[in-house]
Amino acid sequence: MDKLIIHGQNALHGELEISGAKNAALPILIASLLTEDTLLLTHVPHLQDVNTTKSLLTYMGVDIQFENDSTQLTAKKIINKNVPYERVKTMRASILVLGPLLARFGEAQVSLPGGCAIGSRPVDIHIKGLQAMSAKIDIHNGYIEASTKHLPKSKLQGCKFYMDIVTVTGTENLMMAASLAEGITVLENAAKEPEVVDLGKCLNKMGAKIKGLGTDVITIEGVDSLHKASHDIIFDRIEAGTYLAATAMTGGEVLLKNVQFKYLDAIIQKLTETGVKIESHKNSIRIRSDGKLKAVSIRTAPYPAFPTDMQAQMMALNTIAEGISEITETIFENRFMHVQELTRMGAEIDIRGNTAIIKGKEYLEGASVMATDLRASASLVIASLAARGQTTIERIYHLDRGYEKLEDKLNQLGADIKRIH
């Protein structure tokens, strides 16, 4: 297993191109299942989760071609409408094939994902939404068996559905399913994340009729079929936020390219409170930091509030900021696994329920630590960049799932990171 060896305390300087968003790319790749025509995508990031999605789609019969940095997906003939546990276990986003398969082919068997490192993460809202659209759903031997064969023309029926909890992939699954349903579907309390909007924009280019994207009521008028389209994946706001937090901690000056300020509002507001200077330009952001930070308290919540996917990185930042901060995680019940590892590096963190209380210290010290999930790993990397001495991070396969060329990008800015195979 690969590990990273990081020597800390190099200030970061230079320019960096932010990649396409993982959490937009995954549903959009899967949206190719909704049409027999070709979907052409650009800015698909090179990530392990993207490879896993492509391998799932290939297994199902989708033809995938690469040309000049673009990915072409054609789902003319689907041979497998059954997604086994091994594939959903590897990547929970695989549950997103359920809506498209059911809407286009009238049947699907997808394994229930089960829990994961950051929480129990049920998919009950995905299932209830499809049931509200009149699908017949049985759970047998850990599989969701869904069918519309009993419905007129085997088509899902549009409906009004209120989602009890704001769910990103739940909204995406139902939005894709409703695109090919009979009649109008109204999703209430829908997710407003930019990645959900990006999927909706791509579906509209494919001929879907979706309104209300970016609001909590999304209306989808079903159409008979979708067609070919091309789409450029939105930038990864969490990747951008991670590099902003890293620069804030190490000090330095970095220009991030291929980013839009408006999608980073909550993150930039909190970073600005720490004392760093951030300037926005048309498609870029510049950050300047002298490494002297003030502690900031944070509460995670669905977009446009502060994203849970940046919680661990801001925790790392607070460990060396002046003052005491509180970080409350409201989305996932077990997303504090980085705390133990940061403590190994000298951080002072006390957990009370879903709140972590962090007492900022002058510096962290290098140590041997273990990556536990994607964003926890990112927090350990940025903590190591600011720490005194050498840090070894084990189990970094989590990082490869969601950060494109992480160590190359950081080394390009002056960091000292080596990957040991």
Q: Which residues are catalytic?
A: 116
In terms of C-beta density within 10 A (0-12 exposed, 13-18 middle, 19 or more buried), how is residue 5 classed? middle
Closest approach of ligand EPU to the CB of residue 281, in Å: 26
Q: Could you say whether residue 89 binds ligand EPU (CB under 6 A)? A: no
Q: Could you say whether residue 402 binds ligand EPU (CB under 6 A)? A: yes
Q: Give the rounded distance of the alpha carbon of 265 from its chain centre.
A: 17
**Cα–Cα dist 351/315, whole Å:** 12
The interface region with ligand EPU, picked from 5-13, 59-67, 152-160, 161-169 by CB under 6 A, is 161-169
Is residue 367 a contact partner of residue 345, using CB atoms and an 8 Å limit? yes
Q: What are the DSSP E strand ranges found in 271-404?
A: 277-280, 284-289, 298-299, 324-328, 348-352, 355-359, 368-370, 390-394
With a CB cutoff of 8 Å and minimum separation 6, the contacts of 122 are none
Q: Which is nearer to ligand EPU, 10 or 94 (CB)?
A: 94
Q: Could you say whether residue 119 binds ligand EPU (CB under 6 A)? A: yes
Closest approach of ligand EPU to the CB of residue 305, in Å: 10
Angle, helices 265-273 vs 237-250, to 10°: value is: 10
Q: Could you say whether residue 306 binds ligand EPU (CB under 6 A)? A: no
The interface region with ligand EPU, picked from 19-27, 57-65, 132-140, 268-276 by CB under 6 A, is 19-27
The interface region with ligand EPU, picked from 22-30, 50-58, 244-252, 285-293 by CB under 6 A, is 22-30
Query: Would the CA dihedral through 123, 128, 133, 134 be positive or negative?
Result: positive
**Cα–Cα dist 210/185, whole Å:** 9
Closest approach of ligand EPU to the CB of residue 194, in Å: 11
**Cα–Cα dist 325/171, whole Å:** 33
The interface region with ligand EPU, picked from 69-77, 168-176, 271-279, 359-367 by CB under 6 A, is 168-176
Give CA separation, 279 vs 244, 271, 274, in Å.
Answer: 12, 12, 15
Q: Could you say whether residue 125 binds ligand EPU (CB under 6 A)? A: yes
**Cα–Cα dist 99/245, whole Å:** 36
Closest approach of ligand EPU to the CB of residue 126, in Å: 5
Closest approach of ligand EPU to the CB of residue 379, in Å: 11
- Tokens 């990171």, located at residue: 417
Q: Could you say whether residue 135 binds ligand EPU (CB under 6 A)? A: no
With a CB cutoff of 8 Å and minimum separation 6, the contacts of 352 are none
Q: What are the DSSP E strand ranges found in 329-389?
A: 348-352, 355-359, 368-370
Q: Which of 126, 201, 270, 409 binds ligand EPU (CB under 6 A)?
A: 126
The interface region with ligand EPU, picked from 75-83, 123-131, 140-148, 241-249 by CB under 6 A, is 123-131
Contact string 36-75 vs ligand EPU (x = CB under 6 A) = ----------------------------------------
Looking at this protein, which amino acid is placed at residue 317?
Answer: L
Q: Could you say whether residue 100 binds ligand EPU (CB under 6 A)? A: no
Closest approach of ligand EPU to the CB of residue 278, in Å: 23
Is residue 235 a contact partner of residue 20, using CB atoms and an 8 Å limit? yes
Q: Which is nearer to ligand EPU, 37 or 195 (CB)?
A: 195
With a CB cutoff of 8 Å and minimum separation 6, the contacts of 214 are 192, 194, 197
**Cα–Cα dist 131/135, whole Å:** 5
Q: Which of 161, 332, 336, 403 binds ligand EPU (CB under 6 A)?
A: 332
Q: Which is nearer to ligand EPU, 179 or 308 (CB)?
A: 308
Q: Which is nearer to ligand EPU, 124 or 290 (CB)?
A: 124
Q: Could you say whether residue 331 binds ligand EPU (CB under 6 A)? A: yes
Specify the DSSP class assigned to residue 147: E
Q: Which of 2, 46, 150, 165 binds ligand EPU (CB under 6 A)?
A: 165
Contact string 169-188 vs ligand EPU (x = CB under 6 A) = xx------------------
Q: Could you say whether residue 237 binds ligand EPU (CB under 6 A)? A: no
What SS3 state is found at 358? strand
Looking at this protein, which amino acid is placed at residue 205?
Answer: K
Question: Given the rule CB under 6 A, which residues bind ligand EPU?
Answer: 22-23, 26, 92-93, 119, 121-126, 165, 167-170, 308-309, 331-332, 374-375, 402
